Structure 1
Amino acid sequence: MHFKNDVIAFIGPACAFALEPVARLAAYWNSPIITGMGDQLPSDDELTVTSGILGKIHKWKNESTDKSKYPTLTRMSYCQCRLKLVFASIFRQFKWKHVALIIDRSDLFSLTVGKNLEYGLRQEGLLSFVRELNGNEQEPYENYLKDASMYARVAILSLRGELVRKFMLAAYTLGMTNGDWVFLDVEIFQSSYWDDHDWEAGDAFDSHARKAYEALLRVSLLQPTNPEYQGFADKVRVMAKAYNYSFSDSEEVNFFIGAFYDGVYLLGMAFNETLSEGGDIRDGMAITRRMWNRSFHGITGHVRIDDNGDRDADYSISDLDPINGKFEVVAYYYGLHREYSAVAGKKMHWPGGREGPPPDVPRCGFLGNAPECHGNELTIMYGTFAFAIFLGFSFLVVYLMCKAKTVTSEAHTNKNLLEK
């Protein structure tokens, strides 16, 4: 394409593994390259050697973070590396400093999200417990939760949707959904691709799952809801049929499609500015610098590309409304300001009827061995012991007095008998 078709810019690929070599070539050819994803993972068929894949992902993450090897690459959607900032903003908001993380290493998306969170939250000093599991094996999930309970009361479940439900049901069985615990998961957006994260499965456990999910907070990409995007989505549905793809009635036009569109729009702006100033549109580095460190209004809403060529994405934080059983947005994380922002007029539904978040550390500690709690127990124990001694002594005194009275009475009786 580069040599035969005189290509001066690249749009895509989406998958990180495909993007990596193309981005290297684009840098070598001094051509701008834009992707609407960049964190996309390989298919299940590629999950043959997890450790090898994870090594490649870490290599890609490290290299794409500083962009030294990909100086012409611009990513228009989101970066998993910044999910730590989203979660950290939630933890700061509610003053949580002890966090557990459970990761499904058999699901590549869950694994990479979990590893990014593990690395980032450790740096923030927020992580107290990490455990990995093979989600393809049937295990007693209660054991993972019991282990986590020794270190935290806030747990991130980096698991595919089916496992999230199993863990929440296990938490319900253990009594961990009554308000003393909080769980969090990641659902980038609702799609069968990311697995079903809903509590409702049409089985006998739905009622328990619904109750358990009241203790779950969900982090997602902020989906555009403006009229412009809805019109764009309608056009995408129509055009998709020409490429032998039909959206189902419940299927949304996902964020990444809009991100690619915004990428083309941004590239066009950079080309137009370059031409209007008499610049060279074949200078990929110059074109790329015009796209970085700037903001504009795109089809997906406000778009800000930072000085490293990555989008400062916005996220929503949702909780389950106990009345209608649906997740509703209660707060936002805005990438530009990098802070938690509660939705005005929206109240967080804490489980167990709580009016506020559970404390970071339980009153008696994670193991129930806090000195103040044991102090009360010792006071009660010593008080009971002292009272028992007092009662025993009292009974002894009464007994001795009665005994002495009896002896005196008998002596007096004997004396009278002798005198007669």
Structure 2
Amino acid sequence: MAAPTPLLLLGPLLGTVLGGPSSSSAQASAAPSVEVTLGVLLPGRNLSYPWAWPRVQPALSLALEALQPQLRPLGLDVRTAFASTEDHGGACDYTTSLLKAADLKISRDPDVLLGLGCFHTVEHLVKHWRLPLLRAGLFQIEIDPTTTVYAGPSHPAPELSGFPGQLFRRFNWTSRAVLLASPQNDYGEHFPFGLVFQQHIPGAANVTVSVHQYDGQPEKAVRFIQTKGRVVCIWGPLEMLQEIMSLAQAQDMTRGDYVFFYLDIWGKSMRAEGHREAAKPWQSKESQDSGGLREAFQTVLVITSHEPQTPEYRRFQSQLFLRAQKDFGVAVNDSAGTLVAGCFHDVLLLYLKALNETLQEGGTKRNTSRILEKMRGQKFQGVTGTVNINNYNYREMDFDLWAMRDVESGEYQVVAHYVGADKQIEWLGPVRWKKGSPPLDNPPCVFDMDDPSCGKSGGFPG
């Protein structure tokens, strides 16, 4: 039997997204009365960006095609206008982004913008234009709630706060945490390393977060850890984590007195690359041995975005791969890019739902504040799972916690799944602590020597 078309695949899932008038033959033949121009600003060809256009365009097309039976009776005609933010070398460029945004505004006068997946500084234009901005790619530390909805996975941000907060409470970490952050990650995302983590990650009012900006010197980083805490969160390239863990192992810090959380929201460390096998982040791209890091990584837990395992998502994924190959001649079968494309797909559905409600109430397509207000607090099932935009205009995303299954195989498995819409952790397996229990975040007589029972020869042992 022939494979079903994208419309048949997604139609049952999306059939009630928009609501509005019931479809009839008279409505179905009605000409569109409201033309909506979706302006898109994303990298045009460079697939090193998970939010590149060859991934996102098929996702948007699938959403619009699936909704077409509803869009036309409602009098909505959605058209897409794309502009690439890449420079001639293929990298996202600040000047190019500004010029393309201005050109798009002049030539097509979009009603809503999607993307800006390179630089955040273009957003002052969006605020000036008073247009809705739908984002699901490059992270932004703060968004303007009057214009922007952030609906995709990212590294430490407000929508991640519930997960680490619950982990801290479950493992009874109440006073200390350490953050080591690189100025940017593998995708060129720049991270203001202290602010977001200190405000949101621990989720406990009394936790003090000590922050260290990693400058390529693991010796300084390890010494900072030894003097500041035992619960360590690391954000940066995988090579940075491997460097730190190699030295931590040499300093005898991997016996179970420390726990290292690696914040790998895109899940790159779990994918096979070069000589590295899937789910073995201790291996490097060049070697499967990686200096014997397998044992050291028993103390490393990895947080990634959760990729849905539902039949709807798998069907969407298959169609996305086929469209990208057909329309762009490229293979885009990686999990991070697929998830980002799915998030763009779902936030477009949510926008159209809010737009339709605004129009039904007598508003216009340029009532940005009303449209964004309607996008908040709504829940619906998209291809990426439950879509729920919180009061900060961030989507409540799902995350996974990975731990090493056993030292013999060195393979990681998901031990916990955080459901963002419900703010609940589903435990799927045990965390095998090397000492049988979680390490203390503030062990006695290590950081606080004022206790009379502590000796005076203290220090900061590894």
| TM-score (norm. length: structure 2) | 0.64
2:113 equivalent to 1:10: yes
Q: State the distance in 2 between where 1:23 and 1:195 align.
A: 38
SS at match of 1:228: helix
Partners of 2:379 and 2:387 within 8 A in 1: yes
Cα displacement string for residues 219-278 of structure 1 (whole angstroms, at most 9, x for unaligned residues): 111211111111111111111122242235x66543211111001111222233344445
Are the counterparts in 1 of residues 303 and 402 from structure 2 also a CA contact under 8 Å? yes
Bigger CA radius of gyration: 1
Worse-matched range after superposition: 261-270 or 363-372: 363-372
The equivalent of 1:334 in structure 2 is 419
Which position in structure 1 is the counterpart of 2:178? 100
Structure-2 change in CA distance of 1:300 and 1:13 (3 Å): same
1:23 to 2:126 alignment:
yes
Residue identity opposite 1:298 in structure 2: G
Correspondent of 1:39 among 130, 139, 142:
139
- Mapped to 1, the partners of 2:201 and 2:371 lie a distance apart of 35
The answer to whether the aligner puts 1:317 opposite 2:401 as a matched pair is yes
CA distance in 2, matches of 1:334, 1:10: 28
* Number of the residue aligned with 1:299: 383
- The whole-number CA distance in structure 1 between the counterparts of 2:119 and 2:386 is 24
Equivalent residues in 2 for 1:142-221, closer than 5 Å? 142-191=219-268, 198-201=281-284, 202-203=286-287, 205-206=289-290, 208-221=292-305
Q: What is the alpha-carbon distance in structure 2 between the residues aligned to residue 343 and residue 162 of structure 1?
A: 29
Task: Write the distance in 1 (CA, Å) between the matches of 2:452 and 2:289.
Answer: 40
Q: Distance in 1 between matches of 2:184 and 2:373?
A: 39
Q: Is the 8 A contact 2:138 2:189 kept in 1?
A: no
Residue 215 of structure 2 aligns with an amino acid whose one-letter code is N
Using the alignment, how far apart are the partners of 1:366 and 1:106 within structure 2? 30
Helix, strand or coil at the partner of 1:150: helix
Q: 1:369 to 1:257 in 2, by over 3 A?
A: same
Structure 1, unmatched stretches of 5+, are 41-60, 376-420
Q: CA 1:166/1:246 → structure 2, altered by over 3 Å: closer, same or farther? A: same
Q: CA deviation at 1:77?
A: 1.3
- 1:81 matched residue in structure 2: 157
Asked if structure 2 preserves the Cα contact closer than 8 Å seen for 1:102 and 1:131, the reply is yes
Match of 2:341 in 1: 257
Q: Give the alignment partner of residue 350 of structure 1, picking from 423, 430, 433.
A: 433
State the Cα distance separating 1:103 from its structure 2 match.
2.2
Alpha carbons of structure 1 residues 110 and 307: separation in structure 2 relative to 1, 3 Å = closer
Q: CA separation in 2, counterparts of 1:355 and 1:13?
A: 46
Identity %: 23
AA matched with 1:245: V
Q: Give the structure 2 partner of residue 286 of structure 1.
A: 370
Alignment partners' CA distance in 2, 1:199 and 1:245: 30
For residues 176-214 of structure 1, what are the alpha-carbon distances to aligned partners after superposition, in whole Å with 9 as ceiling and x for unaligned? 111111111111123489997821125485362111111
Partners of 2:183 and 2:344 lie apart in 1 by: 29
Q: Flag the 1:223–1:121 CA change in 2: closer, same or farther, 3 A.
A: closer
**Helix, strand or coil at the partner of 2:315:** helix
Does 1:116 find its partner at 2:200?
no
Once the two structures are overlaid, the 10-residue window that deviates more, 210-219 or 144-153, is 144-153
Query: Is the Cα–Cα contact under 8 Å of residues 194 and 211 in structure 2 kept in the other structure?
Result: no
Which whole-Å deviations, capped at 9, do the CAs of 1:16-56 have from their partners, x for residues lacking one? 426514422441xxx3332223516xxxxxxxxxxxxxxxx
In the TM superposition, structure 1's runs of 4+ consecutive aligned residues that sit over 6 Å from their partners are: 192-197, 367-370
* Aligned partners of 2:153 and 2:340 also within 8 Å: no
Provide closer, same or farther for how the CA distance between residues 128 and 115 of structure 1 changes in structure 2, counting only shifts above 3 A. closer
Q: C-alpha distance in 2, partners of 1:314/1:204?
A: 30
Shift of 1:307: 2.7
Residues 193 and 213 of structure 2 are in contact (CA less than 8 Å); yes or no, is this contact kept in structure 1?
no
CA contact (8 A) 2:358 2:364 kept: yes
Whichever residue aligns with residue 358 of structure 1, its letter is: P
CA contact (8 A) 2:183 2:193 kept: no
1:9 to 1:204, Cα distance in 2 relative to 1, 3 A: closer
Query: 1:318 offset after TM fit, Å?
Result: 1.5
1:247 to 2:327 alignment: no
For 1:270, what is the secondary structure of its paired residue?
helix
Q: Matched residue of 1:210: which SS?
A: coil
* Residue 391 of structure 1: aligned partner: none
Note the alpha carbon deviations across 1:300-355, whole angstroms, 9 max, x for none: 1011012332212222221111253222221233333445x2414x111212xx32
Distance 2:287 2:449 in 1: 36
Distance 1:102 1:4, change over 3 A: closer
Does structure 1 conserve the Cα–Cα contact (< 8 Å) formed by 2:134 and 2:150?
A: yes
Q: Is the 8 A contact 1:103 1:133 kept in 2?
A: yes
Structure-2 separation of matches of 1:155 and 1:235: 40
TM-fit CA distance, 1:366: 4.3
Q: How many residues are treated as equivalent by the alignment?
A: 339
Tell me: CA distance 1:263–1:313, structure 2 relative to 1, closer, same or farther (3 Å): same
Q: Shift in Å at residue 164 of structure 1?
A: 0.2
Note the 1:46-57 alignment, pairs <5 A. none
Distance 1:336 1:19, change over 3 A: farther
Question: What amino acid does structure 2 have at the position aligned with 1:167?
Answer: I
> Is contact 1:76–1:263 with CA below 8 Å preserved after alignment?
yes
Q: Cα–Cα, structure 1 residues 314 and 214, in superposed 2: closer, same or farther, change >3 Å?
A: same
Distance 1:161 1:195 in 2: 13
